[in-house]
Structure 1
Amino acid sequence: MERKVTIQDIATMAGVSKSSVSRYLNNGYISEDKAKKIKSAIERTGFETNFFAKRLKTKKSGLIGIVIPRIDSVTVGKFLNGINRKLRENDYQGMILISELDIEKELDNINSLNQQGVDGIIINSMSITKKHLEITSKLNIPTIFTGQKSEFINYIKLDDYKAGRIMGEYFKAKGHKEIVFLGINEFDKAVGIERKSGFIDAVKENNPGSRVQFVETDFTFTSAYLKGDEILKYKPTAIVCATDNICLGILRYLHERNIKVPDEISVAGFGGYEIGGVSYPAITTIAFDYELIGIKTAQGILDLIEGKELEENNDIALELIERESVKEIVDKGGIG
């Protein structure tokens, strides 16, 4: 049986990269010289792939662009698993570009995916800026954001304010009044503002004498660890961290100084990471179903491609998981 010509064969014949051939097939941007060489190679071989034939027939590539801020994250992995499952069920494939926590690169990635002819773009954004709105408003393909929200875009996200309130109500019920919230910069509105605000509002509501101090870190274990000295100056009975990963840094800091958790200081976080359940002590947390977020986001972009509206109810369940890292304060005047 004669061997079928592949995209790599075309790339070799034309003296271009495989990605250049893919962009040509997707009506993406390549130089005029490369386009001529690729076209000539295709004509000489009679090349046609199922993918190319499908595009000619349906005017769709079967590709969804996915922009993520980083790959070294438990939550991103679960999020991508959910997206991949839903796309595979619908005969779509994802093309992932990583922004490396650089907002300009994130914007470039959106433009790049559009040029490569994807049918829609999922953007797990660090922030939604005016440039995001300008770029996406000019695209002739649908986009959907996750992680952040704006009234001017399509989005699916967690209710970070609600998550913060759940944790705040929990600590208020446990009798804690001197609390440090170890969070991130407000550039990330979801985690940096909404999650923190929900927590503070719940703690202070009908709770005279309560104080929540804010200490800024980033998402890394190391940065959280290095904030330990600053946190202890406030003499807190509890440290609430914006993520479970931040919690792990603080747990290490406290352990090295023989400060017992939760007997002397309680610690809690957000995320529901598996590692938080096997750390010692196990971390009390608000668990998020990141895989479900991925599934709902993928379904959202597929609906938009088909001209449907997003579902109005995209609530993602939030679950308080109470473990070993929080203690109730019996003596309201100090550490229990």
Structure 2
Amino acid sequence: MDRKVTIQDIANMVNVSKSSVSRYLNNGYVSEENAKKIKEAIEKTGFETNFFAKRLKTKKSGLVGIVIPRIDSVTIGKVLTGINKKLRENGYQGIILISELDIEKELSNINSLHQQGVDGIIISSMAITKKHIELISRLSIPTIFTGQRNEFINYIKIDDYEAGKMMGSYFTAKGHTNIVFIGVNEWDKAVGVDRKNGFFDAVKEGNPESNVQFIETDFSFISAYNKGEEVLKYKPTAIVCATDNICLGILRYLHENNIKVPDEISVAGFGGYDIGSVSYPTLTTVAFDYELIGIKAAQGILDLIEGRELKENNDTSLKLIERESVRGIK
């Protein structure tokens, strides 16, 4: 062809609608038969989309920025799966930037995505600071946060306080009164404050005479392992960890010191990681549907991009999974 091939030309060649070709180009749903025909026509004609022309016409890039704190995380991987699934269904693509657990880099990544012209940004943040709120208020595009809650921003998150209460009530019902809770710094409000407070409140409500000690660690397996000796000084009947990954470090320490779980000490965590179902003993946990959180975050940003009001969502999808690592005390 002498002139530039258009989407309409491709549609005419394979006898489908122009919108079908557009959905195909934007990774939207097209039947397998039509997708094959469109692909062959594109290859035959050498058709190329003009991203910038499209953007000038629609005032949208079809891109959503995604800021994550780290890549080596089970939970982040599941959240990203949910985000990508929902974006792809709606013809959007994600651009991922990693902050490497650095707040200043996280803020820089948000600003960088805005400058690149994305239509909106999903931020899996480590904390919501005054700088975050100031930056978000200056942006000309919508943003939504996952993992942290703040009245001045849009967010989709798990109810960490309710998750903590669920686990606290469970251990109270099991008869445990001398417990160590291994958690993270309060800088992380969701896990370090809400989850811990929910657990403590439920235990004290169920049995005011209970003794619950707090030991601070970080999210890593090795840090939790290194806290094992300090934990045992309290001679607990149960150890509750802020995440399943922390539990794995504790389980390893107990195993190496010939302390049987759950015969001598019960152990439980939060997250519902797959590895908990194959560890020994299998791990009791409060499971979160992280993929669902990703889906909801993506739907939320798409609603905001289209000028729709963000729906309030109280479905936290919490589930207590009782396995082998906890026993009751008579």
**TM tier relative to shorter chain:** 0.7 to 0.9
Q: 1:208 Cα deviation (Å)?
A: 3.0
**2:289 partner amino acid:** D
Write out aligned runs for 1:136-215 (5 A).
Answer: 136-215=136-215
Deviation string, structure 1 residues 80-108 (Cα, Å, up to 9, x no partner):
00000000000000000000001110000
Rounded to whole Å, the distance in 2 between the matches of 1:71 and 1:206 is 39
- Residues 262-303 of structure 1: CA distance to partner in whole angstroms, max 9, x if unpaired? 000000000000000000000000000000000000000000
Mapped to 2, the partners of 1:105 and 1:90 lie a distance apart of: 29
- Residue 326 of structure 1 pairs with residue 316 of structure 2: no
Q: What is residue 228 of structure 1 aligned with on the other side?
A: 228
The offset of 1:314, in angstroms, is: 4.2
- C-alpha distance in structure 1 between counterparts of 2:135 and 2:94, whole Å: 21
Instruction: Report 1:1-336 matches (<5 A).
Output: 49-330=49-330
Q: Which amino acid aligns with 2:212?
A: V
In the TM superposition, residue 209 of structure 1 has moved relative to its aligned partner by: 1.7
Task: Assess, with a 3 A threshold, how the Cα gap between structure 1 residues 150 and 182 changes in structure 2: closer, same or farther.
Answer: same
1:163 Cα offset (Å)? 0.2
Q: Is the 8 A contact 2:241 2:269 kept in 1?
A: yes
Distance in 2 of aligned mates of 1:97 and 1:109 = 6
Hey, what does 1:8 align to over in structure 2? none
The Cα of 1:50 is off from its aligned counterpart by 3.6
SS at match of 2:66: strand
Q: Output the amino acid matched with 2:67.
A: V
User: Offset at 1:211?
Assistant: 1.1
Q: Distance in 1 between matches of 2:154 and 2:61?
A: 21
SS in structure 2 opposite 1:180? strand
1:40-72 deviation line (CA, Å, top 9, x unaligned): xxxxxxx97342232111100000000000000
Aligned residues of 2:169 and 2:206 also touching (Cα < 8 A): no
Instruction: Supply the AA of the counterpart residue of 2:66.
Output: I
Whole-angstrom CA distance in 1 between matches of 2:97 and 2:147: 16
Look up the match of 2:44.
Answer: none
Question: Is contact 1:296-1:314 (8 Å) kept?
Answer: no
Ranges in structure 1 where 5+ consecutive residues have no aligned partner: 5-46, 331-336
Distance 1:192 1:232 in 2: 21
Aligned equivalents of 1:164 and 1:69: distance in 2?
A: 23
Cα pair 2:67 2:99 within 8 Å, conserved: yes
User: How far apart are residue 315 of structure 1 and its match?
Assistant: 1.8
Count how many residue pairs are aligned between Structure 1 and Structure 2: 288
Q: Distance in 2 between matches of 1:213 and 1:120?
A: 42
- Structure 2 distance, partners of 1:136, 1:48, is 35
Supply the distance in 1 between the matched residues of 2:51 and 2:210 (Cα, whole angstroms).
61
1:217, distance to aligned residue in structure 2 (A): 0.5
Deviations 1:153-198 (A, max 9, x none): 1000000000000000000000000000000000000000000000
Cα distance in 2 for residues equivalent to 1:304 and 1:145: 13
1:237 is displaced (CA, Å) by: 0.4
Question: TM-score when scaled to structure 1?
Answer: 0.84
**In the alignment, which residue of structure 1 is the partner of 2:27?**
none
Q: Aligned equivalents of 1:150 and 1:140: distance in 2?
A: 20
- Greater mean deviation of Cα atoms: 131-140 or 208-217: 208-217
Distance 1:306 1:314, change over 3 A: farther
Q: Cα deviation per residue 1:197-223 (whole Å; 9 max; x = unaligned)?
A: 000000010413201100001000000
- Kept after mapping to 2: 8 A contact 1:292/1:316: no
CA distance in structure 2 between the aligned counterparts of 1:312 and 1:249, rounded to whole angstroms: 37
Q: Secondary structure at the match of 1:205?
A: helix
**2:68/2:99 contact within 8 Å kept:** yes
2:185 touches 2:192 (CA, 8 Å); kept in 1? yes
For 1:151 and 1:77, the matched residues in 2 are separated by 27
Paired letter, 1:255: H
**Does the 8 Å CA contact 1:67/1:99 hold for their aligned counterparts?**
yes
Letter in 2 for 1:329: I
> Match for 1:99: what amino acid?
S
Structure 2: distance between partners of 1:313 and 1:291: 15
Calculate the TM-score normalised by the size of structure 2: 0.85
